[in-house]
Structure 1
């Protein structure tokens, strides 16, 4: 089959409403074997001329070893990789993914023909793991991230990362991940999280400011409704603070439950988000020295804050500025305000 006929066949499958997440078997090893075999064929340069992949823009990219690269799907299992086709004009941008022995545009990888995939759905299958990877590393990491903000990025998730994908009108438009209470804080450590943590979250640009960030935060709080304290991974972005502010303003009962936390989430590693929102609105610095009078009707002492008749247990920041950890890493919450 020549390149044009092959591409037409693949597009015909997509137009028929069949997408990788709907047909990919839960066989990572088999997928890896098929991908390596295909890559070896590209390296051998079989055939008189390379086939081409047509981008939605009409531009054609040659399918050859120099135009593809492997990407690690899970940070804790580097042997699991997927093959991506890069844009010759921007080698950092992936335009297609090799799945089920075919090339698919990144947008088609994010689509589904299953009407039951709607709303927030827990990631379970191998195909859903690939969707999570594309949203996280390709869409956010390369296409929709502010490239001037070198600190704001997510590493590939772990193979057992607890995550939910937000499906809307037949496409994956966002995700959030959590750390369960009792789960390990990282490889090589015996330290475990002391509370459930809302760890990473992303909503695609064209779906922002539609309440989806609020919906994901609400879903997280409802999922762990029996827990007295819930965390949001430090550092929280300014945009995510706006989501938290709106959520807590509408849900007063959650104000004493939601904390900005560093692993593992001990009391000395927590800051009450609602209090910090109030301090920011009062234009007080986040490293404000506690004690004495505080504006906005808040009364601060060494361990208790009373606001509007509510008593909240708080950790002390002790006047210390919180610095970003060197080397980057997984940062919390990059979606725009809902």
Structure 2
């Protein structure tokens, strides 16, 4: 089965948006007795109508290019589907690929990949972030970015500003060096995740902050030596606890040495 990212390689946005506008016209003049439904991942069905369908800008403040989105009827901030290629696709299906060669980090170049980047940033990230986290801005149409693909699914991205590229905040100035802009990797709690030993102090602080937001994940993040066999890995939460105790011991020793 091909997914939108596999098909939207040589399709321009005008064609995509025209099909969406035609569909909206059908909804507007549709027989009220003829309802259309969309199935959510939990098998619940929601009715599709003018009350929960709307165009959203693909590139943020640039409203010239839009996507037709389906929202939950009782929550207009939650997108559950996009109208692409003449049909509704669930968010998770938009992130899938049937192309075996699409694995690892791949530069965003096609319309389909731009839509995947949008979904990861504006839908998935917003759903998974805590209330304390700051949302990324929408990526512009020509944003330099790469998507991380694994097992037939887009699981993350990063965007960057190449050296010499124009700065949007200062239209007459260019970046003097490559700049990492945004980074996001999905959190799959059902899998163990290893970080290669030794970790820097900065990474420990990142992990500590992460555990304060997601305490249930303390059992999945490991510090890994060599190949990560059971005797070559340590729970990062345990490592943090030992570092805290060691820090307290050092403070006590320092206090006694001053007496």
* TM-score clears 0.5: yes
Residue 206 of structure 1 aligns to a residue whose secondary structure is coil
Whether the aligned pair in 2 keeps the contact of 1:176 and 1:200 (CA below 8 Å) is yes
Query: Is 1:94 paired with 2:61?
Result: no
What is the match of residue 138 of structure 1? 123
TM-score by length of 1: 0.55
Once the 2 structures are TM-superposed, how far is the Cα of residue 203 of structure 1 from its aligned partner? 0.5
Q: Gaps (5+ residues) in structure 1?
A: 1-16, 215-237, 244-281, 283-338
- Cα distance change, pair 47–188 in 1 and its aligned pair in 2 (3 A): farther
Aligned partners of 1:166, 1:198: CA distance in 2, in Å?
15
Query: Is 1:203 paired with 2:188?
Result: no
Once the 2 structures are TM-superposed, how far is the Cα of residue 197 of structure 1 from its aligned partner? 0.6
Structure 1 consecutive aligned stretches of length 4 or more whose deviation exceeds 6 Å: 240-243
What is the match of residue 171 of structure 1? 153
Once the 2 structures are TM-superposed, how far is the Cα of residue 105 of structure 1 from its aligned partner? 0.6
Aligned equivalent of 1:81, options 66, 81, 85 = 66
Whether the aligned pair in 1 keeps the contact of 2:51 and 2:73 (CA below 8 Å) is no
- Cα distance change, pair 211–59 in 1 and its aligned pair in 2 (3 A): same
Whether the aligned pair in 2 keeps the contact of 1:52 and 1:63 (CA below 8 Å) is yes
Query: Is 1:19 paired with 2:9?
Result: no
Aligned partners of 1:33, 1:130: CA distance in 2, in Å?
16
Q: Deviations over 1:110-150 (max 9, x none)?
A: 00000000000000100000000000001002x1111x22x
Residue 205 of structure 1 aligns to a residue whose secondary structure is coil
Once the 2 structures are TM-superposed, how far is the Cα of residue 180 of structure 1 from its aligned partner? 0.7
Aligned equivalent of 2:162, options 171, 180, 193 = 180
Once the 2 structures are TM-superposed, how far is the Cα of residue 48 of structure 1 from its aligned partner? 2.8
What is the match of residue 152 of structure 1? 134
Once the 2 structures are TM-superposed, how far is the Cα of residue 204 of structure 1 from its aligned partner? 0.6
Query: Is 1:123 paired with 2:90?
Result: no
Q: CA RMSD in A?
A: 2.7
The equivalences for 1:1-338 within 5 A come to 17-24=1-8, 25-46=10-31, 48-75=33-60, 77-141=62-126, 143-146=127-130, 148-149=131-132, 152-186=134-168, 189-206=171-188, 210=193, 239=206
Aligned partners of 2:169, 2:22: CA distance in 1, in Å?
32
Aligned partners of 1:71, 1:240: CA distance in 2, in Å?
34
Once the 2 structures are TM-superposed, how far is the Cα of residue 88 of structure 1 from its aligned partner? 2.1
TM-score by length of 2: 0.71
Residue 139 of structure 1 aligns to a residue whose secondary structure is helix
Q: Deviations over 1:164-207 (max 9, x none)?
A: 00000000000000001111110662121111011101011117
**Range moving further from structure 2, 36-45 or 189-198:** 36-45
Aligned partners of 1:140, 1:52: CA distance in 2, in Å?
26
Aligned partners of 2:134, 2:206: CA distance in 1, in Å?
12
Aligned partners of 1:34, 1:69: CA distance in 2, in Å?
14
